[in-house]
Structure 1
Amino acid sequence: MNNNPESSHLVLKNVRVFDGENDRLEPGHVVVCGRHIERIVPHTDTFAEPDGARVIDCAGEAGEITRVLMPGLIDAHTHLAVAGVSALEVLTGPDGLVHCKALVEARRMLMRGFTSARDMGGPTTAIKNVIDSGDFPGPRIYPSNAAISQTAGHGDFSAVYDAPTALGGPLSRADQVGIMRVADGTERVLAAVREQLKKGASQVKLMAGGGVTSVYDDLDVVQFTPEELRVAVRAAEDWGTYVAVHVFTTEGIKRALDAGVRSIEHGQLADEETVALIASKGAWLSTQPFAEGDHTFPDPRSKEKDARVCQGVDHLFTWARDHGARLAFGTDLLFAPDAGDRQSRMFARLDRYMSPVDALRVGTSGNAALLRMSGNRDPYGQAELGVVRPGAWADLLVVEGDPTKDLSLLADPERNLSVIVKDGLTYRNRFG
């Protein structure tokens, strides 16, 4: 791995380029200078490598150009701080365990080809800073910091006998670690939103409905009053960014949209009318192609709720396509330290609902458009993500084969990703 990208060129030769947007794959060479893409040279043009460039020739043994270069993948709904730990480790582990395990998971995520991640709940600003400094490998992180929940909502990890914090009760372990922040009433919600922005949040996450893993609420429960949601939205807008909400159901989605929420996370139990409403308002539907078995639950109630959510996936993707909703892909894996590879398999599962090239657009330039909604809080807004074109960030993958025809290639990144470049640094190079 080169640790001084600013002083050198990198050339990826003899590739077919998927630029993140267009169907056509153009054969050629991609030249990186420092942290950015400098130019894309058509294969038919005369090409001289820059002096001192690191060169990766991706041609086959007979000189054929079959491998595809594409933008790094983006996961729009991750939980880095809790993906690599069990719930028991979070509740009983020593201080610092969550952060250390998150760094391990960040490296694994990068090596699966996910070069950017929108984190939707967890203390990831410090982890982001370590990665951005170059001291540890991992994806670019758009942190939400603690997700904000009401008492008895999806995110209240206190014991049933604890008084609410608004009534003088203690902070739960999840609140202490910075995974959640329970806040009731407009004043506390306002303070909780500002707290996450103070800690470096790119966007703000609220729990606006019941959840699968929740102890106290069912999926139909609508959470936060309209006034509480509006306060959160206004506070985020004052900082030039937006609010995203965890919510599955029609009533919760409509309340959130009425309050000005810009991104609906999940939505698998919405009806068609509500999906059409999301599209008409120009909001994002940031969702996941869940299947039973993606998560395991010791609580039979959670297993039953998960089955209901999974049953809504097919309808949701169909209606989103039919009504032209702005669709983003995420995985939402959490409390599953041995299940990180599902991230890649879940992305490949998108081919059930769209063509492989449309899925690639969603996972690259599409998700990048959602990341840009962070506006003034976008930590990487100096250049484009999710595309291969001059001036964009040099986050690139070289795939063994053509993922625009066969998305399943990306389900096995260890086998099929020959080159992984992020921020101009080469993290994998199978060509010597």
Structure 2
Amino acid sequence: MSQILFRNARILDPARDELLEGHELLIEGGTIRELSEGPIRAASAEVIDCAGRVLMPGLIDCHVHVVLSEVSIPRLESIPLTLMTARAMTLMKGMIDRGFTTVRDTGGADWGLKAAVDQGLIPGPRLFIAGRAIGPTGGHSDPRRRTDHGVRCHCCNAMAFTMAVADGIAEVQKAVREEMRQGCDQVKIMMSGGVASPYDPLDSLQFSEGEVRAAVEEAHAFGRYVCAHAYTPEAIERAARCGVRTIEHGNLIDEPRARMMAERGMFLVPNLIAYYAMRERAAEFGMDATMLEKNELVIDGGLRSLEICRRHGVEIAFGSDLLGQLQADQSREFALRAQVMAPIEIIRSATLVGARVLRQEGRLGCLDPGAHADLLLVDGDPLADLAVLSGQGERLAMIMKGGAFHKFRLN
């Protein structure tokens, strides 16, 4: 089995507060074999001189939508599955180019895309998929126009891949079981109104406690968990009481609900850049005034939600939740969080915490022996300047996933 030895690198181990000097890292095949503070003997290994660059784990984004290639989601109804897939390929390549070697898709990506990446057919990050996001009639996952009546058409378009509607315990059970049958890693449910949907108020409560518990029980029966789209304190409390594991967004959370989340070991996955990018550019891509007005209601709460959850010890993962043409802004999330979080906290959110969300501790987001060899070689020190992780990966001299080079430019 081939070996690669990294020498003359400064090691950024997210479990530590400072860079490690004078260490070497050996990978064998697709995994990390050894991290040592002294020379590693590996006579047959290919040796890479890192020239003092920072070597760190690949990044994890816990909230993406690789098939949502339009900012205005209703436009997906006119996108055939072939074009949807081609666009997803471009979006996923952009993500790994920015150093995100693993992403959790929270609505849209299916087992086919995941298999295509795993089989090396298309370049992209590791995919952890939720399939269709499930919500009630009239909720955040109901894309029908008000002139549409009855059951929505399940035609072969990109919209059909992103959302499912279920009402009542029996329908929720069936919808969750269907996503499990389709190989999903987690279940996504809608528990409050959303920004990118035209008719549901942000403070609407979506899904009853019985429906939420049904989703959680079915997910647990398959060894999976539920992540919930929720903005308001009431929706977050209902999610916490019913066994939901992660809260997506959470902008309007308050102190009591943050305590509930901490007591139950729940995770928060904020997506600050989504709101700023929508404020700046969404109108030009067709997002209507109603949605943009809702965006303004949650944008100021984003940083405040981080402060509240940090105070109560809620683990915070990295997420972006960008749509369509805005997805190139993914790495701007680092700078936004830096207003209230230290660089090492933000890096941990995109490595160690993300791995815990995915239940991949010791395998992703770390430099432990036995972990996947998902590595970045950075021109600059992210602990001193997070801007080196921004943009489109210009400061990344090397990107490796599973021991294979996605990018290698050590000039």
TM-score (norm 2): 0.93
Gaps of 5+ in 2: none
Pick closer, same or farther for the CA change 1:385–1:288 going to 2, 3 Å.
same
One-letter amino acid of the structure 2 residue matched with residue 74 of structure 1: I
1:144-183 to 2 correspondence within 5 Å?
A: 144-165=130-151, 170-171=153-154, 177-183=160-166
Bigger mean CA offset, 340-349 vs 189-198: 340-349
Report the equivalent of 2:17.
23
The structure 1 residue matched to 2:43, chosen from 40, 50, 53, is 50
User: Is structure 2 residue 403 aligned with structure 1 residue 403?
Assistant: no
The structure 1 residue matched to 2:68, chosen from 78, 82, 107, is 82
* Alpha-carbon shift at residue 83 of structure 1 (Å): 4.2
Gaps of 5+ in 1: 1-6, 60-64, 373-380
User: Is structure 2 residue 210 aligned with structure 1 residue 208?
Assistant: no
Inter-partner Cα distance in structure 2 for 1:145 and 1:356: 32
* Alpha-carbon shift at residue 26 of structure 1 (Å): 1.4
CA offset digits 1:173-195 (Å, max 9, x no partner): 77863211111111111110001
1:208-357 to 2 correspondence within 5 Å?
A: 208-290=191-273, 292-295=275-278, 296-297=282-283, 298-334=287-323, 336-337=324-325, 339-357=326-344
On the 8 A contact 1:157/1:174 being kept in 2, the answer is no
Inter-partner Cα distance in structure 2 for 1:239 and 1:200: 10
User: Is structure 2 residue 31 aligned with structure 1 residue 36?
Assistant: yes
On the 8 A contact 1:153/1:210 being kept in 2, the answer is yes
Report the equivalent of 1:377.
none
The structure 2 residue matched to 1:128, chosen from 98, 106, 114, is 114
Inter-partner Cα distance in structure 1 for 2:93 and 2:276: 24
* Alpha-carbon shift at residue 162 of structure 1 (Å): 2.4
CA offset digits 1:13-65 (Å, max 9, x no partner): 211111221113212221110010011132xx3444431x3332111xxxxx3
Pick closer, same or farther for the CA change 1:290–1:429 going to 2, 3 Å.
closer
User: Is structure 2 residue 402 aligned with structure 1 residue 423?
Assistant: yes
Pick closer, same or farther for the CA change 1:292–1:228 going to 2, 3 Å.
closer
On the 8 A contact 1:8/1:33 being kept in 2, the answer is yes
Aligned residues: 404
On the 8 A contact 1:291/1:310 being kept in 2, the answer is no
The structure 1 residue matched to 2:346, chosen from 349, 359, 362, is 359
CA offset digits 1:318-373 (Å, max 9, x no partner): 11111111211100011x22x2221111133221121111111111011111110x
* Alpha-carbon shift at residue 382 of structure 1 (Å): 9.8
TM-score (norm 1): 0.89
Report the equivalent of 2:356.
369
* Alpha-carbon shift at residue 287 of structure 1 (Å): 1.2
On the 8 A contact 1:84/1:102 being kept in 2, the answer is no
On the 8 A contact 2:108/2:163 being kept in 1, the answer is yes
Inter-partner Cα distance in structure 1 for 2:296 and 2:183: 35
On the 8 A contact 1:175/1:181 being kept in 2, the answer is no
* Alpha-carbon shift at residue 417 of structure 1 (Å): 0.6
Question: Counterpart of 1:397 in 2: which secondary structure?
Answer: strand
CA offset digits 1:104-145 (Å, max 9, x no partner): 211111111000001100033211101101222110111000
Question: Counterpart of 1:329 in 2: which secondary structure?
Answer: coil
Inter-partner Cα distance in structure 2 for 1:221 and 1:319: 22
* Alpha-carbon shift at residue 400 of structure 1 (Å): 0.8
Pick closer, same or farther for the CA change 1:325–1:135 going to 2, 3 Å.
same
Percent identical = 38
Question: Counterpart of 2:8 in 1: which secondary structure?
Answer: strand
Bigger mean CA offset, 256-265 vs 86-95: 86-95
Report the aligned-residue RMSD.
Answer: 1.9
On the 8 A contact 1:19/1:389 being kept in 2, the answer is no
CA offset digits 1:386-409 (Å, max 9, x no partner): 001211110000111110121121
One-letter amino acid of the structure 2 residue matched with residue 19 of structure 1: D
Question: Counterpart of 1:12 in 2: which secondary structure?
Answer: strand
One-letter amino acid of the structure 1 residue matched with residue 377 of structure 2: V
